[in-house]
Amino acid sequence: MSKFGISQPVKRFEDSRFLTGVGKYLDDIAPNDALFAFVLRSNIAHARIIHFDTSSAKDSNGIHLIITAKSLSEAGIVNEMDFDVVTNINGSFGAAPVRPLLAKNKVRFVGEPIAMIIAETIEQAKDAAELIELEFSEEVPHIRLSEGGPKIHSEAANNVAYDWEIGDKEAVDKIFKEARFTTKLDIYDNRIIANSIEPRGCFAETEGDKIHFCFSGQGVWKTKEALQKVLKLTDKQIKVTNPDVGGGFGMKHPAYPEYFLVAHATRELGRTVRWQAERTESMLSDNSGRDLQTKAELAFDENYKILGYRLFTLSNLGAYNSKMGQKIQSELFSKVLMGTYDVQSIYYHNRGVFTNTTQFDAYRGAGRPEAIYVLERAMDHAARILKIDPLELRNRNFIPVHKFPYKTVTGELYDVGEFSKILNRAETEADFVNFKARKARSKLGGKIRGVGICYYIESILGDPSETARVEFTDTQNVNLYVGTQSNGQGHETVYRQILHENTGIPINDINIVQGDSDLIPTGGGTGGSRSVTTQGTATKATAAKAIKQFELFLAKHLGLKEISFDAGAFRSDSSNMVMTLTKAADLARKLNRQDLLIVSQTTTLPGRSYPNGCHICEVEIDISTGTTEVVKYTVVDDLGLLINPMLARGQVHGGVVQGIGQAINEHVVYDENGQLLTATFMDYSLPRADNIPLIEFHSEPVPSTANPLGMKGCGEAGTVGTLSAVANAVQDALWEYGIHQVDMPFTPIRVWSWLNSNDNSMAKLKN
Residue 507: the pLDDT is: 96
DSSP 70: H
Q: Is the pLDDT of residue 245 over 90?
A: yes
CA distance from start to end of the chain? 62
The whole-angstrom separation of Cα 321 and Cα 315 is: 12
pTM of the complete model beyond 0.75? yes
Residue 5: the pLDDT is: 87
Task: Write the CB contacts of 265 (distance below 8 Å, at least 6 apart in sequence).
Answer: 35, 37, 65, 67, 116, 118, 204, 273
Residue 766: the pLDDT is: 57
Q: Residues 506, 652: one domain?
A: no
Residue 575: the pLDDT is: 87
- In 3D space, the residue among 167, 168, 156 whose CA is nearest the CA of residue 93 turns out to be 156
Question: What integer is the mean pLDDT of 554-572?
Answer: 93
Q: How many residues comprise the chain?
A: 767
Q: Which of 587, 604, 621 is the last residue of a domain?
A: 604
- Pairing mode, if any, of strands 292-300 and 695-699? unpaired
Residue 765: the pLDDT is: 60
- Report if residue 504 sits inside a domain: yes
- Report if residue 171 sits inside a domain: no
Q: For the segment 165-185, what is each residue's pLDDT rounded down to a tens digit?
A: 999 999 999 999 999 999 999
Cross-strand partners of 296: 185, 311
Q: Residues 758, 630: one domain?
A: yes
Quick one: CA dihedral 266, 269, 270, 273, positive or negative? negative
Question: What integer is the mean pLDDT of 606-628?
Answer: 97
* The 3-state secondary structure of 700-719, one letter per residue: CCCCCCCCCCCECCCCCHHH
Q: Residues 332, 418: one domain?
A: yes
Query: Residue 584 — φ and ψ, nearest 5°?
Result: -65, -35
Residue 308: the pLDDT is: 98
The whole-angstrom separation of Cα 235 and Cα 749 is: 54
Task: Write the CB contacts of 679 (distance below 8 Å, at least 6 apart in sequence).
Answer: 280, 283, 284
Task: List Cα–Cα distances, 15 to 19, 375, 505, 642, 708, in angstroms.
Answer: 6, 38, 21, 20, 29
- Report if residue 166 sits inside a domain: no
Q: Residues 455, 480: one domain?
A: no
Q: Residues 267, 234: one domain?
A: yes
- Report if residue 738 sits inside a domain: yes
The whole-angstrom separation of Cα 110 and Cα 678 is: 13
Q: Give SS3 for 342.
A: coil
Q: Residues 231, 111: one domain?
A: yes
Q: pLDDT > 70: what percent of the chain?
A: 99
Specify whether the backbone of 500 is left (phi greater than 0), alpha (psi in -120 to 50) or beta.
alpha
Q: Residues 501, 587: one domain?
A: yes
Q: Which domain holds residue 90?
A: 31-139+197-247+252-285
- Report if residue 84 sits inside a domain: yes
- In 3D space, the residue among 36, 102, 107 whose CA is nearest the CA of residue 65 turns out to be 36
Q: Residues 134, 61: one domain?
A: yes
Question: What integer is the mean pLDDT of 506-514?
Answer: 97
- Report if residue 439 sits inside a domain: yes
The whole-angstrom separation of Cα 737 and Cα 578 is: 74
CATH number of the domain encompassing residue 135: 3.90.1170.50
Cis ω on the peptide bond leading into residue 745 (within 30° of 0)? Answer: yes
Question: In the structure, what pLDDT confidence band is assigned to residue 573 with cuts at 50, 70 and 90?
Answer: confident
Alpha helices of 150-256 — where are they, by DSSP H? 169-178, 221-231
The whole-angstrom separation of Cα 337 and Cα 226 is: 32
Question: What integer is the mean pLDDT of 600-621?
Answer: 97
Task: List Cα–Cα distances, 624 to 372, 520, 621, in angstroms.
Answer: 32, 58, 9
Question: In the structure, what pLDDT confidence band is assigned to residue 3 with cuts at 50, 70 and 90?
Answer: confident
Task: List Cα–Cα distances, 463 to 483, 525, 605, in angstroms.
Answer: 11, 9, 9
Beta strands (DSSP E) in 419-574 are 447-457, 465-472, 478-481, 510-513, 564-566, 569-572
- Report if residue 102 sits inside a domain: yes
- Whether the Cβ atoms of residue 483 and residue 520 lie closer than 8 Å to each other: yes
For the ranges 314-328, 511-525, 585-599, 751-765, the lowest mean pLDDT is seen at: 751-765
- Pairing mode, if any, of strands 47-53 and 35-41? unpaired
Q: For the segment 356-395, what is each residue's pLDDT rounded down to a tens digit?
A: 999 999 999 999 999 999 999 999 999 999 999 999 999 9
Q: pLDDT > 90: what percent of the chain?
A: 96
CATH number of the domain encompassing residue 740: 3.30.365.10
Q: Is the pLDDT of residue 760 over 70?
A: no
For the ranges 66-75, 397-406, 426-435, 752-761, the lowest mean pLDDT is seen at: 752-761
**Cα 135–chain centre separation:** 38
Question: In the structure, what pLDDT confidence band is assigned to residue 758 with cuts at 50, 70 and 90?
Answer: low
Residue 759: the pLDDT is: 63
Give 307-318 as a DSSP string.
Answer: EEEEEEEEEEEE
Residue 2: the pLDDT is: 72
Residue 434: the pLDDT is: 98
Q: Residues 80, 129: one domain?
A: yes
Q: Is the pLDDT of residue 761 over 80?
A: no
Q: Which of 560, 577, 604 is the last residue of a domain?
A: 604
Q: Is the pLDDT of residue 1 over 60?
A: no
Q: Residues 280, 360: one domain?
A: no
- Whether the Cβ atoms of residue 754 and residue 731 lie closer than 8 Å to each other: no
Q: Is the pLDDT of residue 615 over 60?
A: yes
- Report if residue 339 sits inside a domain: yes
Q: Which of 572, 604, 636 is the last residue of a domain?
A: 604
Q: Residues 273, 334: one domain?
A: no
Question: What integer is the mean pLDDT of 269-285?
Answer: 98
Q: Residues 472, 453: one domain?
A: no
Domain count, the chain: 3
